[in-house]
């Protein structure tokens, strides 16, 4: 598991989430991360359900910086104009409905114009051998549970540029041994 968050859109104008892809926020060593959303209440079209653009996860990865170079976290207008927004699917549904989107899928949602809040619980998972790239975006701040392997143990192996690296154990909790310690301590 990588990330867990609750997106609550308040009634009467709870904010839109502008069109974006997730992978730019927390780049990984592959494109396997996907986010599972669960609506904790009934969500209809007025409540700003998630909108997804089918197939867009196979396409371009957009620059989410503003023109002035600051981080905006949203696609810019010219990129949005090039999309066919008529193809957007709005994922409304009764409480308990589940949404799943890949980290490269273009998605977002409009404001909540209804009288009821819209609670969406989001959890992100990746392959066990997909690793967040530290030093970029949210990867350093997603918390202790981030990277915990669900239902197994980490293999410490990662494939980069087509080459598999059988990595060392994770020493983040107990400190790294020296190379002499590793090689002579049997």
Ligand X SMILES: O=C(O)CCC(=O)C(=O)O
Residues that bind ligand X (CB under 6 A): 7, 17, 22, 50, 107, 109, 120, 122
What is the nearest approach in angstroms of ligand X to the Cβ of residue 168?
33
What is the nearest approach in angstroms of ligand X to the Cβ of residue 108?
6
Q: Which residue is nearest to ligand X (CB)?
A: 109
What is the nearest approach in angstroms of ligand X to the Cβ of residue 7?
4
**CA-to-CA separations, 157 to 27, 70, 124, 165, 185, in angstroms, rounded:** 17, 35, 20, 6, 23
Query: Nearer to ligand X by C-beta: 22 or 129?
Result: 22
Euclidean distance between CA atoms 61 and 56, whole angstroms: 9
Query: Nearer to ligand X by C-beta: 72 or 156?
Result: 72
User: Residue 122: beta bridge partners?
Assistant: 5, 37
Query: Nearer to ligand X by C-beta: 57 or 107?
Result: 107
Query: Nearer to ligand X by C-beta: 17 or 104?
Result: 17
What is the nearest approach in angstroms of ligand X to the Cβ of residue 31?
16
């Amino acid at each position: 598991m990588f990330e867990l968050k609750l997106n609550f859109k308040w009634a009467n104008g709870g904010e839109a989430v502008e069109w974006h892809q997730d992978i730019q926020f927390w780049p990984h060593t592959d494109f396997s991360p996907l986010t599972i959303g669960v609506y904790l209440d009934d969500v209809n079209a007025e409540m700003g359900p998630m909108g997804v653009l089918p197939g867009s996860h196979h396409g371009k990865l957009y620059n989410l910086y503003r023109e002035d170079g600051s981080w905006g976290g949203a696609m810019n207008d010219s990129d949005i104009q090039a999309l066919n927004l008529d193809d957007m699917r709005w994922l409304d549904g009764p409480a308990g409905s589940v949404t799943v989107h890949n980290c490269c899928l273009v998605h977002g949602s409009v404001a909540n114009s209804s009288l009821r809040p819209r609670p969406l619980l989001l959890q992100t998972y990746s392959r066990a051998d997909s690793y967040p790239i530290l030093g970029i975006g949210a990867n350093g701040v997603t918390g202790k549970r981030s990277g915990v392997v669900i239902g197994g143990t980490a293999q410490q192996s990662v494939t980069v540029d087509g080459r598999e690296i059988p990595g060392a154990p994770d020493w983040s909790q107990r400190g790294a041994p020296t190379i002499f310690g590793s090689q002579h301590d049997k």
